[in-house]
Structures are given as structure tokens and as C-alpha cells.
């Protein structure tokens, strides 16, 4: 699954999926999503593209 993440404020991130839908997640929800794919978030970049 491919998706893009964009931090919109210190505690929320918008995740856009390739199928066109998006979700706004808290830090905890984002951490859970990323752990499902074995991905650790890079916090030194304001916007990251993640392809799995």
C-alpha cells in the first residue's frame, strides 16, 4: 500500500492513500498505522512520502 503523510499540526497528520481517500490521525493513531507496515516515522522532515 502506498500513501503520503503530511503533518498538519504538532499532534495531527493527514494521510493520503493512493485510492484517493485520506484520514487525519493523531500521533498515536499514526504510530499504530506505521507499525502495521513496519515503518518508523522520520520526524526531521516536515513532509514524507512513504511507499510500501
pLDDT of 2 = 85
Burial 21-47 (b: 16+ CB within 10 A, else e): eeeebeeeebeebbeeeeeebeeeeee
For 47, the grid coordinates are: 513532509
Q: What's the predicted TM-score (pTM) here? A: 0.68
Cα separation values, 45 from 6, 14, 26, 41, 49, Å = 10, 14, 17, 9, 10
pLDDT band at 51 (very low <50, low <70, confident <90, very high): low
Q: What is the pLDDT of residue 39?
A: 83
Tell me what the pLDDT averaged over the chain comes to.
84
Give the integer Cα–Cα distance in Å for 2 and 49: 9
Amino acid at each position: 500500500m502506498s500513501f503520503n503523510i503530511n503533518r498538519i499540526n504538532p499532534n495531527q497528520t493527514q494521510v493520503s492513500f493512493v485510492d484517493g481517500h485520506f484520514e487525519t490521525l493523531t500521533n498515536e493513531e499514526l504510530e499504530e498505522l506505521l507499525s502495521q507496515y513496519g515503518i518508523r516515522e522520520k520526524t526531521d522532515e516536515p513532509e514524507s512520502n512513504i511507499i510500501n
